[in-house]
Each structure stands twice: as structure tokens, then as C-alpha cells.
Amino acid sequence: IQAEGFAGDQWFIIEEGTVALHQPNEPPQVLGQGDSFGEQALAGWKNLPMAVALTMTKCHVLTNSCRLATNQGWKTCGLRHWQ
């Protein structure tokens, strides 16, 4: 879902499935329904953890460009599916 060190602009909110976040020198953090990751990317942080879908995963995705386009705050711009 997200490569280690990649500086994206997406915040993922898990609707279904499980995702493991891998940070260097730390055990993986397993996330599930209702959890989120990637919010640091919206703030422009670099060196984000690698996110790997462990099961079929469905996430709501919020992007910085989506927020800027609405001029009314955050909205869900799309629903993406990963295996």
C-alpha cells in the first residue's frame, strides 16, 4: 500500500482487513478496522513506514489535493481496494 520512506499525500482509514506498518528496528504494528495510517504524509513528513496489506483490505483514502479542491475541509475522495 505504501513503500517505506515514500513521501505520499494520502491518509488511509481501514474499513475492512488488516495492515502491518513496518518501521525500521521496530516490530510491525498490525492495524484493523477503524484504524488509520498515513496522516503524517499529509503534513509533509518523509520516511514513512512501509504499509503491507495482510488480508484483502478496503480503505477510505483522503488526499491533500482532495482537501484543497473542496475548500470546505476533508471529504472522502475515493474508496480503494487492495489484496
pLDDT of residue 32 exceeding 60, the answer is: yes
- Asked whether residue 28 carries a pLDDT value surpassing 80, the answer given is yes
Choice among 2-6, 14-18, 29-33, 78-82 with the minimum mean pLDDT: 78-82
Residue that is written with C-alpha cell 488509520 in the block: 36
The percentage of residues in the chain with a pLDDT greater than 70, rounded to a whole number, is: 66
Q: How many CB atoms lie within 10 A of CB 21?
A: 20
- Could you write out the three-class secondary structure of the chain? CECCCCCCCEEEEEEECCEEEECCCCCCEEECCCCEECHHHHCCCCCCCEEEECCCEEEEEEEHHHHHHHCCCCCCCEEEEEC
Express each pLDDT in 67-78 by its tens digit. 554 455 544 455
